[in-house]
Structure 1
Amino acid sequence: MTRIMEPSENIITNGVLVSREVSCLEVRVDKQKNKKLVKEKNDILLAVKGSYEKAQRMSFSSGSSSDTVDTFRFHSLKSCEPELTASVEPGLGSSFLGFSFGGDSKSEDFVAVPLKSLPLEQAVRVALPTAEGKQLELELKAKDCPKKLDVRLGFDLCEEEKLFLQKRKKVVAEAVKKVLQLDQDLQDNEVPVVAVMTTGGGVRAMTSLYGTLSGLKKSKLLDCVSYITGASGSTWTMSKLYEDANWSHKDLEEPINDAREHVSKSKTSIFSWERLKYYRKELSERAKEGHKTSFTDLWGLMLEFMFHDGVLENTLSDQQRAVNEGQNPLPLCLAMNVKDANNSTLDFKEWCEFSPYEVRLLKYGASIRAEDFGSEFFMGRLIKKVPESKLCYLQGLWSNIFSINLLDAWFSAVSSENFWHRWTRDRMSEIDEESLVREKRSGDLSTRVLTPSNSFSETLRDIVTSRPIDGEHHNFLKGLQMHRTYNQHSNFCSWRDTELDSSPNQLTPLAEDLCLVDSAYYINASYPPLLRKPRKVDVILSFDYGLTGHFKSVEQTYQYCTKQDICFPKVVLSEEERKNPKECYVFVDDENPEAPVILHFPLVNDTFKKYKAPGVKRSPAELEDGDVHLTSSQSPYRLLNLTYSEHSFNQLLSLTEYNVQNNKDLILQAFRTALERRKHAVAAASGNSHRH
């Protein structure tokens, strides 16, 4: 982050975004000193053109606030020399009819006060004349906003993550030494950074990730991992595990048993009368707190009920307890910021990562604290603090591809066609996992529910209609300006991948809101956070939980990275490998040690059919347990199926656990490759320093 000192202004920039000085005007209106206006039930309209707040109305009509003094704040660029404009209007209740700078036909009077005329940090009382001899009395105070930003501008890791890595490195070094049976301790710069990358896939991904982590733990490999990334359904598992500050050091049977119980139970009460009333109450309270509510939030509340017994008070920042001592891998969840329905995902998309420490838009090098996500920002300053969201709302955001097909998800869960057609018009189509793309859709669901015929369906309609489908959130880049050479910055160029990136006026700092969606709309994977250069990831254990297109996630990522000039090994597969995929594939670029080693695990049932554990054959009576139905049209693991039998859950869990354990040798070989690369880099750096 660079500070640019100019005669009149202190500018902060990271080479992509620019923050400028902001002034704050505080306006206090005392009703006791404006009794005539109160008596006549007039409204006061205050505005500062170009400010974050734009215009604010104070109503003296019946039903308005009973407070004696109302306070309004306006934040604007200091260099723009803003003016406060005020007008007195006949009582209009609490409705907002807009504001015309320079007065309009409804105004009894119009006045303007230049803010540069006000002394800093001093309250100034002004009496502004209005029509018919009345006066509008205001108390004004101009202040400079703090120069320190609440948005972190920079492309390095945050200090909290750096500290985490220092502590995690000790855990990893000891674990790697044991599994590789090394004679000597590893030096800090020799410890490989290993990550687990998972894809989405609803309950299938949630169940499979439990199996994956169980397999890593039983193979003594889990302590070798520094990062776990998730998208869509795999984030449901991550959210549950990180409720426990020491989950990776415990037996995973307890969370697995809990998941089995919730996955196998009926979901028929998801639309019960009591649940509908709860959803409406929660969404109403959320809106009152200052959050923007959407259909995605409803999906989050349903996830809370389906997989957490309806109670999930944890937040994203609460997960810091599970990583502050480096005791578990750092969880990173992925979403995308997109434009509204006028643009498809291919037209505009930006990666957004969520960690217990920060929420970050990768392309801009801009982050905010996890607990501040959903709050209001202007020019890098926190303007209005909004309570942190419960984690269920973020789960809804990370997997909101289901919110679009929520009606189908409900249908699949309860298998009650008669019930469903009582309340809705037509079933929506099954999501095609082979071509999972974001379609252009309208901003609400008003055509998807029948006209209410009774209180039950009326409540349902009230909840789901007139809400945006996508998760809209306050834009924490709002007001920030693009640096004049932003599109030449190497970090911006790494994630620049659409034509709109060449038009600064089309980019996110000028958007009113963030529009965050499931990353599976573009690539059903969670690689991007691991490809940030400061993380220096050496090995990625890639777990693709798709039923078809077993290599789609890794191939799409390779193609994306090739286009973006991001280090990633070449992915080459034969027709035979595509036709009959194995349990694990290794992709490595021997000529570029900066490219991570990728071990790709497609979701396949290969040797598990005949072996119940590595090297342990099944008896004839046990062969049925190895027959996991992944590819048939009647597979229980279809994307929109939210309920499995206990047998189906156990089969998928055992399969994914086995596939890890059966390929432990390949994983250890990847660790050795990473270790050799690091030692070679250390030796090369040492040789260069001696020569200089």
Structure 2
Amino acid sequence: MALFPVTSGLWGWGAELACRLGIGSKELPCRNPLFSPHCLGHSQPAACPLPPLQSKVPGTCLLTVRVLQAHDLPSKDLVTPSDCYVTLWLPTACSQRLQTRTVRNSRNPVWNQSFHFRINSQLRNIMQLKIFDQDLVTSDDHLLSVLFDVGTLRAGELVHNSFPLGSKASKRLEVEFHLRSLPDCTEQLVSNGILVARELSCLHVQLKDMGDRQGSRSKVQLAVPGSCEGPQEASVGAGSFCFHFPACWEQELSIYLQDAPQERLKVPLNSLPNGQVVRLVFPTSQEPLMRVELKKEEGPPELAVRLGCGPCAEEQAFLSRRKQVVARALKQALQLDGDLREDEVPVIAVMATGGGIRAMTSLYGQLAGLQELGLLDCVSYITGASGSTWALANLYEDPEWSQKDLTGPTELLKTQVTKSKLGVLAPGRLWQYQQELAERTRLGHPPCFTNLWALINEALLHDEPHEHRLSEQRQALSRGQNPLPIYCALNTKGQGLSTFEFGEWAEFSPYEIGFPKYGAFIPSELFGSEFFMGRLTKKLPESRICFLEGIWSNLYAANLLDSMYWASDPGQFWERWAQDQATLEKERVPLLKIEETPTVAGRIAEFFTDLLTRRPLAQASHNFLRGLHFDRDYFEHPYFSAWRATKLDGLPNELTPTEPHLCLLDVGYLINTSCPPLLQPMRDVDLIVSLDYNLQGAFQQLQLVGRFCKEQGIPFPPVEPEAHELQQPRECHLFLDLDRPESPAVLHFPLVNDSFREFSAPGIRRTPEEQAAGEVDLSPKGSPYHYSKVTYSPEDSDKLLRLSRYNICNNSERLLEALREAVLRRRLRGRRPE
């Protein structure tokens, strides 16, 4: 039975659990690849099943691709045949798209041209071949494209492929592949089984006049294709320039004068000795001549991006400290006879959803309720999304917040939510916003509307700017005195796909920021800095936390399709998502994928898709995954498998590491939850206290979490409330899955006004004069707590705070019973087999 009425004793669950676990058996059941067979018996997080590998790896090969000919190509011109050429793109070997010559007026063009790529067979090498019809007036027409997995080739073989280009058998592209092993070539790779970091080189460039005058005004363009920095504009004598690029690529430095682009100097970088200054003269027709000083060095050997799937060392150390606090709190709350051993201490988490000011206010009330019951110290994690992150960001400015009475912070909150917000757009404020945004741009942060929203949001919640930063919250964790906060966001695409089709969970903690899907994390103070191939290339000052709050509650990066999803029944979208997941599972990584030219109807559909998915106010921050490549077996990695849920997961050339910037969005445009960080198996959470602030559907978002987990194979209890509970939800509901003991128990608190109407406090019935104080309007429409409301009346803020606190305190016995069962469950899991 998935749903257990909390009014009945939970000790029955514990007895049945002990029976189901089969204490004394040789091995506990393990149905999920994320869990090792014996992980349920460990108190500490298990090691990542595939730790990062760093070694000199053989497998370098020379790939020769010979584009032969095409047959029966379509023509965009009704009068003459096409003028066709083929482009080749293999981003694991070369940043540029190579191109054949153009064969004119032929539907059966013959190119017979060869191209060479130096590849590493440890990577997922996907080559894209595209056929274009050249047009001298408009942009070239894309006719056909082919995706080919180079990993299907074997060294030493000559393979002739005839790719079908449509339903007609005569329409095809003929390409010849030859893969030759280079046994003497090895490469330093660092991999976690999903992402791969390769060796990096750094090129320093100085331009100097050879004449008498210094600092010429001549503008010079410098470029190293595939480098992190991209093309750079310089003045002669204006200083030095730096380029970071993959050491294994055959790159060249290109220098030319903007006034005379035909005069160009090209320097093959492989010919430069490491660590030595090389001086060249650029013999331009302009005076004075230019001297170029070059120095190539090895890039930073150590990665700034942590490639690992489990919690970082700092989080594991925190958990050890926090368990001592939790053990004492549980002993007191549950009146235990003896002390809990470390392996008997369960991991309890509080999960808060989004909901604007409503979520922030309610979370204050519920945390005050947990503190009143003496249960706040039993919690190891608190996760937040959207509006609930505002509450956490405020509280964690005080390193001792959970050890103090929350009356003071709550009164400050009431002052902020009830104050007039008219001044946030006053001319003086706007000038301040402009000055700070200009300074961020000067430092190197990409400009975007989300930064302006962050400053406006800060003005809504505070009277003055706060200098607090996320990494400073580590002080609140130094002795394990508070739970570890984790803030959630979604990474999306700037256009082409809705969040529903491409949304990757990102988590922010005081220790690290990263993507569980990729097993890639950076220290929180480095978020916003520039990275390439896992190395830090430009460190920027850590942003104030308001800019992260703007990301966590970023409603403005949405597109029209996201808004349609948000305003409609999510069930319809999730039906389509489940179908897409089934298709993705069948296709895996495409060994061969052919895309034909869209028809007229298809082009119209593409136009409307682009209109619906374009994000006019997209968020932008430097992508710390940029440049990293994919392991050849990344798709089967258990961590990637658990979190892959987008249309592009089987197409590594289109995933996040290829993007220069991240596009982060409020999680509410997919699922209004902050649950995913708690489902990481290495965090090993026993009980989730789910705090839901949605006004429509007490179980809707939790059911979406359950559906997501079911499709992904992530342990999570079925969320199947009874019909009468859907009609009239109670204050507290328990969800379990006894068939999967690795699943956490979920104690769900929807935002409802149930017995609060009749009771001002647990067991204290309201007098007739107090009846009005028990009427809290939580209707989906017209409620004073609607997400669009940024100012509450003092009466409404008091009601919401009292209601949320009451709902926790009125279920003290249910909370205590759930904690007892969590302790029992942890003891049973930790008991060694006989």
TM-score normalised by length of structure 2:
0.72
> What letter is aligned with 2:481?
Q
> What letter is aligned with 2:542?
E
Say whether 1:396 aligns with 2:550: yes
Inter-partner Cα distance in structure 2 for 1:429 and 1:156: 36
Say whether 1:4 aligns with 2:55: yes
Say whether 1:183 aligns with 2:329: no
Inter-partner Cα distance in structure 2 for 1:233 and 1:341: 26
Give matches, 1:487-526, under 5 Å. Answer: 487-526=635-674
Inter-partner Cα distance in structure 1 for 2:430 and 2:527: 27
Match of 1:147 among 276, 301, 325: 301
Query: Deviations 1:395-418 (Å, cap 9, x if unpaired)?
Result: 11111116769xxxxxxxxxxxxx
Check whether the contact 1:430–1:640 (CA below 8 A) recurs between aligned residues: no
SS in 1 for 2:221: strand
SS in 2 for 1:121: coil
Inter-partner Cα distance in structure 1 for 2:195 and 2:448: 29
> What letter is aligned with 1:251?
D
Check whether the contact 1:433–1:548 (CA below 8 A) recurs between aligned residues: no
| C-alpha spacing 1:440/1:601, structure 2 compared with 1 (3 Å) | farther
Say whether 1:372 aligns with 2:548: no
SS in 1 for 2:517: helix
Check whether the contact 1:341–1:440 (CA below 8 A) recurs between aligned residues: no
| C-alpha spacing 1:478/1:87, structure 2 compared with 1 (3 Å) | same
Inter-partner Cα distance in structure 2 for 1:590 and 1:548: 29
Deviation at 1:573, TM superposition (A): 1.3
Give matches, 1:500-579, under 5 Å. Answer: 500-579=648-727
Deviation at 1:17, TM superposition (A): 0.3
Match of 1:472 among 615, 620, 632: 620
> What letter is aligned with 2:239?
D
Query: Deviations 1:113-166 (Å, cap 9, x if unpaired)?
Result: 222222222222222222267532022111101221000001011011011101
Check whether the contact 1:400–1:470 (CA below 8 A) recurs between aligned residues: no
SS in 1 for 2:337: coil
Q: Which moved more, 1:119-128 or 1:146-155?
A: 119-128
Partner of 1:626: 774
Partner of 2:389: 235
Deviation at 1:634, TM superposition (A): 3.2
Deviation at 1:310, TM superposition (A): 2.9
Give matches, 1:167-246, under 5 Å. Answer: 167-246=321-400
Say whether 1:302 aligns with 2:456: yes
SS in 2 for 1:395: helix
Deviation at 1:442, TM superposition (A): 6.8
Give matches, 1:32-47, under 5 Å. Answer: 33=210, 38-39=215-216, 41-47=217-223
Say whether 1:687 aligns with 2:687: no
Question: Aligned residues: percent identity?
Answer: 45
Deviation at 1:89, TM superposition (A): 3.1
Check whether the contact 1:301–1:393 (CA below 8 A) recurs between aligned residues: yes
Inter-partner Cα distance in structure 1 for 2:781 and 2:298: 64
Say whether 1:268 aligns with 2:383: no
Q: Which moved more, 1:386-395 or 1:627-636?
A: 627-636
Partner of 2:817: 669
Q: Which moved more, 1:185-194 or 1:432-441?
A: 432-441
| C-alpha spacing 1:440/1:272, structure 2 compared with 1 (3 Å) | farther
Check whether the contact 2:208–2:290 (CA below 8 A) recurs between aligned residues: no
| C-alpha spacing 1:142/1:403, structure 2 compared with 1 (3 Å) | closer
Inter-partner Cα distance in structure 2 for 1:519 and 1:296: 15
SS in 2 for 1:75: strand
Inter-partner Cα distance in structure 2 for 1:152 and 1:583: 41
Partner of 1:457: none
Query: Deviations 1:328-372 (Å, cap 9, x if unpaired)?
Result: 000000000011132111211100000001111110000011011
> What letter is aligned with 2:828?
H
Inter-partner Cα distance in structure 1 for 2:522 and 2:612: 27
Inter-partner Cα distance in structure 2 for 1:287 and 1:120: 34
Inter-partner Cα distance in structure 1 for 2:612 and 2:288: 46
| C-alpha spacing 1:108/1:470, structure 2 compared with 1 (3 Å) | closer
Give matches, 1:115-154, under 5 Å. Answer: 115-131=269-285, 134-154=288-308
Match of 1:23 among 191, 195, 201: 201
Deviation at 1:632, TM superposition (A): 6.9
C-alpha RMSD of matched pairs (Å): 2.3
Check whether the contact 2:557–2:664 (CA below 8 A) recurs between aligned residues: no
Partner of 1:415: none
Give matches, 1:273-284, under 5 Å. Answer: 273-284=427-438
SS in 2 for 1:143: strand
Query: Deviations 1:550-603 (Å, cap 9, x if unpaired)?
Result: 111210000000000000001111221111110000001112211000000010
> What letter is aligned with 2:494?
D
Check whether the contact 2:490–2:664 (CA below 8 A) recurs between aligned residues: yes
| C-alpha spacing 1:309/1:404, structure 2 compared with 1 (3 Å) | farther
SS in 2 for 1:73: strand
The ranges of structure 1 where at least 4 consecutive aligned residues each deviate by more than 3 angstroms after the TM superposition are: 33-39, 402-405, 428-445
SS in 2 for 1:598: strand
Inter-partner Cα distance in structure 1 for 2:613 and 2:738: 50
Inter-partner Cα distance in structure 2 for 1:295 and 1:263: 24
| C-alpha spacing 1:441/1:307, structure 2 compared with 1 (3 Å) | farther
Partner of 2:504: 350
SS in 1 for 2:318: helix
Inter-partner Cα distance in structure 1 for 2:316 and 2:515: 19
- Gaps of at least 5 residues in structure 1 are 61-67, 91-105, 406-427, 446-466
Give matches, 1:365-444, under 5 Å. Answer: 365-401=519-555, 432=567
Inter-partner Cα distance in structure 1 for 2:654 and 2:636: 17
| C-alpha spacing 1:633/1:502, structure 2 compared with 1 (3 Å) | closer
Inter-partner Cα distance in structure 2 for 1:30 and 1:305: 49
| C-alpha spacing 1:441/1:641, structure 2 compared with 1 (3 Å) | farther
> What letter is aligned with 1:498?
T
Q: Which moved more, 1:291-300 or 1:510-519?
A: 291-300
| C-alpha spacing 1:572/1:140, structure 2 compared with 1 (3 Å) | same
Inter-partner Cα distance in structure 2 for 1:37 and 1:502: 54
Query: Deviations 1:89-112 (Å, cap 9, x if unpaired)?
Result: 32xxxxxxxxxxxxxxx4252111
**Number of equivalences:** 619
Partner of 1:14: 192
Check whether the contact 2:732–2:811 (CA below 8 A) recurs between aligned residues: yes
- Gaps of at least 5 residues in structure 2 are 1-51, 58-184, 575-607
Match of 2:790 among 642, 646, 659: 642
Check whether the contact 1:434–1:548 (CA below 8 A) recurs between aligned residues: no
Query: Deviations 1:522-558 (Å, cap 9, x if unpaired)?
Result: 0001000000011000000001001111111210000
Partner of 1:79: 248
Inter-partner Cα distance in structure 1 for 2:400 and 2:276: 52
| C-alpha spacing 1:235/1:316, structure 2 compared with 1 (3 Å) | same
Check whether the contact 1:299–1:403 (CA below 8 A) recurs between aligned residues: no
Inter-partner Cα distance in structure 1 for 2:564 and 2:419: 25
Inter-partner Cα distance in structure 2 for 1:148 and 1:553: 41
Inter-partner Cα distance in structure 2 for 1:56 and 1:381: 20
Radius of gyration: which is bigger? 2
Query: Deviations 1:198-219 (Å, cap 9, x if unpaired)?
Result: 1100000010000010000001
Match of 1:110 among 252, 255, 264: 264
SS in 2 for 1:156: coil
Check whether the contact 2:532–2:624 (CA below 8 A) recurs between aligned residues: yes
Deviation at 1:612, TM superposition (A): 1.0
Inter-partner Cα distance in structure 2 for 1:56 and 1:318: 35
**Which is richer in strand?**
2
> What letter is aligned with 1:13?
S
TM-score normalised by length of structure 1:
0.86
Check whether the contact 2:557–2:665 (CA below 8 A) recurs between aligned residues: no
Partner of 1:55: 231
Check whether the contact 1:295–1:468 (CA below 8 A) recurs between aligned residues: no
